[in-house]
Amino acid sequence: MKSLEQIVRNLGIDELQIARSALTRLDKGRKIYGPWNLLGDPRDYPEEALEEVVDALHYCAAELVRLRREHIKNRGRRPRVYVCHAVSANTEKTERAIKAICREIVHSGALPIAPQVYLPQFVDEHSARGLSMTFCLELVALCDELRVYGTTITSGMRREIELAEGFGIPVRHMTEEVQP
């Protein structure tokens, strides 16, 4: 079992400030009210009680940090939608389809993220597939939603979908075809 000092030492900055304040108040209360006894049990349980309080504080602080990040993330910006679409041999047709999808996403009030349209301008898909996929996966991680278009799921699309699901990013399979 970790000691109280180890638990406190491993807290993040936001959590540490809250924990220090609470522990100071607990220590002050203990000096005023005496040892903590459980229903007539004469033994004192300060270490166990403090660990439980720190665990509760850790949870509360983590939730506050998450809520603050969520508030900052959503303040004044459009939701980012990743376009998950197969790139076919007919790149011109694919590009037209993806641009039409992007227009639809913009019309819905969101920001489309479609690396299939601009990455080929500076990254060769055939010779630098790994680099291209790395960029795509980094962009997926920044998005609020991933939309899957088409009936074919390529290995690259599967990786994008799995990453989104792993991060808890909603994945929507779009059934309607968008006309270019």
pLDDT in tens, 20-66: 777 776 667 666 666 655 566 655 555 666 666 667 777 777 777 66
Q: Are residues 106 and 30 in the same domain?
A: no
pLDDT tens for 79-120 read 899 999 988 666 788 889 999 999 999 999 899 999 988 888
Q: Which of 150, 145, 120 is nearest to 135 (CA)?
A: 120
Tokens, residue 30: 């203990």
Rounded Cα distance between 88 and 109, Å, is 28
Q: Which of 37, 56, 74 is the last residue of a domain?
A: 74
Q: Which domain-ending residue is among 74, 104, 122?
A: 74
Judge if 51 and 69 occupy the same domain: yes
Whether 1 shows a pLDDT value over 60: the answer reads no
Cα gap 23→104, rounded to integer Å: 53
In this structure, are 109 and 64 located in the same domain?
no
39: left (phi over 0), alpha (psi -120 to 50) or beta: left
Domain of residue 50: give its range.
4-74
- Are 85 and 45 contained in the same domain? no
Share above pLDDT 90 across residues of the chain, in percent, rounded to a whole number: 27
pLDDT per residue as tens digits for the range 133-170: 888 999 999 999 999 998 889 999 999 999 999 888 89
Q: For residues 82 and 96, what is the distance between their CA atoms, to the nearest angstrom?
A: 17
